[in-house]
Amino acid sequence: MSWIPSLVNLFRRDADYLVGLDVGTSRIKVAVGQERPDGALSMIGRHMTESEGIRKGEVQDQKRACDAIARALREAEENFHIGMELVELAITGAHIAAETHTGHVGVRGEGGEVNDADVQAAKDSASSCAQLGSDRTMIHVVQCGFDLDGGLPLVNPVGHLGNSLKAEVHCIHGHQGRVRNLPNCLCSKVGANVEVNEVVFSGLASALAVLEPEDKQMGAIVIDLGGGITEYVVYRNGAPRLSGTLAVGGEHMVNDLMVGLGIRQRNKARKLLHEAGGVMVEPEDRGREVVFSRDEILGARQQVYFLDDIHRILHERMDETLRIIRDRIFARNASGFDGVTVFLTGGCARLKGMVTLAQSIFDLQAKTGIPTGFEGQEDLRSPEMATAVGLVKYAHAQRLAATKRKRGMPNLIGRILED
Amino acid sequence: MPDGEGAPRAAAGRRAPAEKRVRIKVIGIGGAGVNAIDRLVQDGFDQVGLLAINTDSQALTNCMVADKLQIGDRITHGLGAGGDPDVGRQAAIEDAEAIEEAVRGYDLIFIAAGLGGGTGTGASPVIAKAARAQGALVLALVTLPFVYEGKPRERVAQGGLAALQDAADAVICIANDKLYDLAGEEASVQQGFAPTDAFLSGGVRKIWRMLTFTGLINIDFADLRAVLRRRGGETLIGFGDGAGSDKVARAIEGAFGSPLLSDPEVLRRAECALVAVTHGPDFKMSQYGEMMKTVNEKLGPQAACKLGPIVDEDCQDQVSLLIIASTGKPIESAASRSGRTLDGAIQTSSLNPTAPSHAFARGKGKFQQGVLNLNEVSRGAFEGADRTVVDGEDLDLPTFIRRNVQLRQR
């Protein structure tokens, strides 16, 4: 019955679909959306499969990763009866780093009125401060804001009068070779026959998915706790100012459980993490046991684990992970974080006690980050879908910007990541 | 010299009572073997019985060891085995009685020999067999010929190695090329051989010290036997010393840089290991932790480890690390008989019940387990990926272990 999707495709314009592909260490997540005639984003659905060949968010075994990606895309096409041509791809890895830079230019627009060229020159001047090594490549230059002659911050200075224009940009960059590894898995030889439209840093995509404009304005820390790696992005005054990765994730917790409890099978430790996982050691855990039969089919000998041991092992891991991230974020500027909210996304955000733990470590309000800003498809509103949904929203925003530009509304392309 | 096992120093350390002392003899067989024990004499190491055995009477005369045994006089007329292992074997068989007499009454017998020649290759298996028959644990430390010595010599050596592996409890085998690599390209021929002797004699001395000094957690003869008496596999040994501010790094570098432990793949397959750390009273827990962390990482996840920290008053600002590991499988019957198997996960039975663990408890609540469990510390899922290191900490290792959090179920 493989002709059905292709037949259906005759009546659908594939380019209308917006596809987000998040190739994680544990799972591959595909989110599919569509732009409605009124311009709003409507989500069609999600597809999730086991991932292979990925370690700490990066390709470790290209063959297995390619196969797993091709399978995930094929299944998604069949599920939704669509054909995919273009995908947005999330990228992560320990090699990704970011800084915020500022640049100044003299206004050259007629009569001291800032024009597009001035804005671009200011941004270029700021991003050139990044001074990447020869083995680095820029992934994003996100414009954070402008000011004219030291005045109030401006989102869009075009048309304002002044002498000196200052631009602030957040530059996210990665290792030249390692940035290409994942996109390479999607080229034609995979058989998936899709093209990567853009690669987007996973942390940024997650933030796009869960943050409302007011969250960005008030300040937000988005921490995406994935299977192999954790990404974080800090928004202040409407724009990302700091981001990074820490190559610790759910697989570390699985490994910790294996070591701590003497579990030999990885799958069993994963199951234990899903079914009994929690990162706070509660008084009522004491004496409680988790019973696992060694061989579920044969019903052979049972193995008993203490719930407080499980929670203690996981608590130590997440406590450490969040503390490292907190220290990195607060190292720059420990004060002025009042009113900032911590959003937890990624599969590990669903672990019991995560919000409580994050709240106590950051001493800030914390919540689970749920993708928003679209209609339909409730199953996409879960923290582990944040990156994939964020990619779809990114593609949508980009398309909107392109449309507006066509209609003669200038200078919005750079603002995609702002609101 | 960081070595703490020289004769004058040893007397000052905490020695086991005389009646508990393990009776040890070191036998050098053939030219290379005799050279190695000569080195022991030169280093002033006389706490154990030394015996030089050779077919070549002239070589024996030149040797400094007091106790000598010339074998096969009727076959060789004191002229050596001429590179023929059959002659070496016959010579040992001919003097079986004298050999039997020489190996009687010892708990542990080291055999040092160079394989590829006549006497070392041919006589060593016979002597090992005789020693085992007399009830001793037999550990052979042998070298393989240089590649440039040619294929025939290599074949002879391999034949001798196989025979020795059958006859001895354990064989620690090093290729001369590897030792020569260590000495460096520019080393003279004599310097090239010096590491061979240093390796053989160093190994003997370190093991002697481990068995003789009472540690905070005692590694005893039964533990050594559990590591050496195994089915198949390779026996590995490495040791390193360090002194001064970077002593930990130097000792680790020495131990894991030594030719048998330098191959990370082999090390990863280790089934069990003894890790003895001899240090002065000023040695810090953090330094001990640092050392153990590295040992953790290098050994495979399945390796059962027994750690023995030994305090030697004379080792002020010095530390020495000895690792003996085996990739062999346990011998069931022997293990259960000795009741001290090191197999499997951490077992309190592998702890010497008399060994106090309170020494650890004093260290600010750190390392309260009697034995640190190294056997399951693994990179597991992260194999092949870059380590996640933040501020010098390897985050791939479980946090609860690095933070020393006690679990109920361990």
> Alpha-carbon distance B99 to B97, whole Å?
5
> Which stretches of A263-317 are assigned E, i.e. beta strand?
289-293, 302-306
Q: Does A255 touch chain B (CB under 8 A)?
A: yes
One domain for residues B94 and B230: no
Residue B385 lies in a domain: no
Contact A317 B377 (CB under 8 A): no
Q: Which residues of chain B are within 8 Å of residue A258 when distances are taken between CB atoms?
A: 376, 378, 380
Q: What is the pLDDT of residues B222-233, one digit of tens each?
A: 778 878 777 667
Provide the pLDDT for residue A56. Answer: 93
Determine phi and psi for B391, rounding to 5 degrees.
50, 40
Provide the pLDDT for residue B148. Answer: 79
Q: Does A409 touch chain B (CB under 8 A)?
A: no
Cβ–Cβ under 8 Å, residues B50 and B67: yes
Cβ–Cβ under 8 Å, residues B115 and B123: no
For residues A118-135, give the mean pLDDT.
91
Q: Does A285 touch chain B (CB under 8 A)?
A: no
Q: Does A326 touch chain B (CB under 8 A)?
A: no
One domain for residues B278 and B188: no
Q: In the predicted model, what is the mean pLDDT of chain B?
A: 74
Out of B331, B352, B373, a domain closes at B352
Question: Is A290 a residue whose pLDDT tops 70?
Answer: yes
Residue to substitute from A63, A255, A324, interface B, most B β-carbons within 10 A: A255
One domain for residues B265 and B144: no
B340, B322, B321: which is closest to B331 by C-alpha? B340
Q: Which residues of chain B are within 8 Å of residue A247 when distances are taken between CB atoms?
A: 385-386, 388, 395
Out of B176, B211, B246, a domain closes at B211
Residue B405 lies in a domain: no
Question: Is B81 a residue whose pLDDT tops 60?
Answer: yes
Provide the pLDDT for residue A407. Answer: 64
Q: What is the pLDDT of residues A213-254, one digit of tens each?
A: 999 999 999 999 999 999 999 999 999 999 999 999 999 999
Residue B6 lies in a domain: no
For residues B83-110, give the mean pLDDT.
90
Provide the pLDDT for residue B35. Answer: 86
**Higher pLDDT, residue A118 or B202:** A118
The alpha-carbon gap from A125 to the nearest alpha carbon of chain B, in Å, equals 32
Which range, of A101-110, A263-272, B226-235, B371-380, averages the lowest pLDDT?
B371-380
Query: Between B381, B401, B410, which is nearest A254 by CB?
Result: B381
Q: Does A337 touch chain B (CB under 8 A)?
A: no
Q: Which residues of chain A are within 8 Å of residue B376 when distances are taken between CB atoms?
A: 258-259, 262
**Higher pLDDT, residue A138 or B349:** A138
**Higher pLDDT, residue B198 or B398:** B398
Percent of chain A with pLDDT over 70: 89
Res. A145 pLDDT band, cuts 50 70 90: very high
Report the run of H or E that residue A102 belongs to, with start and end: strand A97-106
CATH of the domain at B51: 3.40.50.1440
Provide the pLDDT for residue B201. Answer: 76
Question: Is A289 a residue whose pLDDT tops 50?
Answer: yes
Contact B395 A305 (CB under 8 A): no
Residue B90 lies in a domain: yes
**Higher pLDDT, residue B410 or A259:** A259
Provide the pLDDT for residue B128. Answer: 93
Return the structure tokens found at A306.
């203490």
One domain for residues B306 and B340: yes
**Higher pLDDT, residue B291 or A335:** B291
Percent of chain B with pLDDT over 70: 75
Question: Is A258 a residue whose pLDDT tops 60?
Answer: yes
Q: Does B395 touch chain A (CB under 8 A)?
A: yes
One domain for residues B195 and B234: no
Q: Does B398 touch chain A (CB under 8 A)?
A: yes
**Higher pLDDT, residue A344 or A74:** A344
Res. B296 pLDDT band, cuts 50 70 90: confident
Question: Is B404 a residue whose pLDDT tops 60?
Answer: yes
* A residues 202-241 lying closer than 8 A (beta carbon) to B: 228
Q: What is the pLDDT of residues A376-385, one digit of tens each?
A: 778 899 999 9
One domain for residues B255 and B292: yes
Out of B152, B178, B211, a domain closes at B211
Res. B217 pLDDT band, cuts 50 70 90: low
For residues B82-88, give the mean pLDDT.
86
Query: Between A60, A248, A251, which is nearest B384 by CB?
Result: A60
Q: What residue spans define the domains of chain A?
A: 98-173
**Most confidently predicted of A62-76, A179-193, B189-203:** A62-76
Helix axes B119-133, B96-103, angle to 10 degrees: 60
Q: In the predicted model, what is the mean pLDDT of chain A?
A: 87
Contact B376 A316 (CB under 8 A): no
For tokens 């001990």, the residue is B288
One domain for residues B29 and B108: yes
**Higher pLDDT, residue B369 or B237:** B237
Query: Residue B330: exposed, middle, or buried by beta-carbon count in 10 A (0-12, 13-18, 19+)?
Result: buried
The alpha-carbon gap from A181 to the nearest alpha carbon of chain B, in Å, equals 14
**Higher pLDDT, residue B285 or B188:** B285
Res. B11 pLDDT band, cuts 50 70 90: very low
One domain for residues B106 and B203: yes
Work out the widest C-alpha separation in chain A, in whole angstroms. 85
Residue to substitute from B400, B403, B404, B410, interface A, most A β-carbons within 10 A: B400
Question: Is B370 a residue whose pLDDT tops 90?
Answer: no
A98-173 CATH: 3.30.1490
Question: Is B198 a residue whose pLDDT tops 90?
Answer: no
Contact A259 B376 (CB under 8 A): yes
Q: Pick the residue from chain A with its C-alpha nearest to B345.
A: A262
One domain for residues B51 and B195: yes
One domain for residues B336 and B269: yes
Query: Between A56, A266, A312, which is nearest B382 by CB?
Result: A56
* B residues 347-386 lying closer than 8 A (beta carbon) to A: 376-378, 380-382, 384-386
Q: Does A287 touch chain B (CB under 8 A)?
A: no
For residues B262-274, give the mean pLDDT.
79
The alpha-carbon gap from A391 to the nearest alpha carbon of chain B, in Å, equals 26
Residue to substitute from A252, A266, A303, A313, interface B, most B β-carbons within 10 A: A252
ipTM over 0.90? The verdict is no
User: Helix, strand or coil for residue A261?
Assistant: helix
Q: What is the pLDDT of residues B380-398, one digit of tens each?
A: 667 667 888 888 788 888 8
Contact B400 A260 (CB under 8 A): yes
Q: Which residues of chain B are within 8 Å of residue A60 when distances are taken between CB atoms?
A: 384-385
Res. B10 pLDDT band, cuts 50 70 90: very low
One domain for residues B36 and B134: yes
Buried b (16+ CB within 10 A) or exposed e, A370-389: bbebbeebeebbbbbbbbbb
Q: What is the pLDDT of residues B13-67, one digit of tens each?
A: 445 444 457 788 999 999 888 888 888 888 787 778 899 999 988 888 888 888 8
Chain A to chain B, count of Cβ pairs less than 8 Å apart?
91
For residues B151-161, give the mean pLDDT.
84
Q: Which residues of chain A are within 8 Å of residue B388 when distances are taken between CB atoms?
A: 56, 94, 246-248
What range defines the domain where residue B34 resides? Answer: 22-211
**Higher pLDDT, residue B241 or A410:** B241
Q: Does A55 touch chain B (CB under 8 A)?
A: yes
Q: Which residues of chain B are within 8 Å of residue A313 when distances are taken between CB atoms?
A: 398-400, 405, 407
Provide the pLDDT for residue B409. Answer: 64
Provide the pLDDT for residue B65. Answer: 86
End-to-end CA, chain A: 43
For tokens 């603002």, the residue is A415
One domain for residues B42 and B187: yes
Provide the pLDDT for residue B188. Answer: 52
Res. B378 pLDDT band, cuts 50 70 90: very low
Residue B298 lies in a domain: yes
Pairing of strands A195-201, A220-225: unpaired
Contact A309 B409 (CB under 8 A): yes
User: Helix, strand or coil for residue A310?
Assistant: helix
- Per DSSP, B146 falls in state P
Provide the pLDDT for residue B403. Answer: 84
Which range, of A114-118, A144-148, A209-213, B169-173, averages the lowest pLDDT?
B169-173
Which range, of A111-125, A259-273, A396-410, B7-21, averages the lowest pLDDT?
B7-21
For chain B, the domain total comes to 2
Provide the pLDDT for residue B214. Answer: 64
Residue B32 lies in a domain: yes
Query: Residue B359: exposed, middle, or buried by beta-carbon count in 10 A (0-12, 13-18, 19+)?
Result: middle
Which range, of B131-135, B156-160, B169-173, B342-346, averages the lowest pLDDT?
B342-346
Percent of chain B with pLDDT over 90: 10
The alpha-carbon gap from B373 to the nearest alpha carbon of chain A, in Å, equals 10
Question: Is A192 a residue whose pLDDT tops 70?
Answer: no
Q: Which residues of chain B are within 8 Å of residue A316 when distances are taken between CB atoms?
A: 398-400, 403, 405
**Higher pLDDT, residue A212 or B64:** A212
The alpha-carbon gap from B234 to the nearest alpha carbon of chain A, in Å, equals 25
B306, B291, B290, B388: which is closest to B345 by C-alpha? B306
Question: Is A202 a residue whose pLDDT tops 90?
Answer: yes
Provide the pLDDT for residue A293. Answer: 63
> Alpha-carbon distance A188 to A68, whole Å?
15
Question: Is B298 a residue whose pLDDT tops 60?
Answer: yes
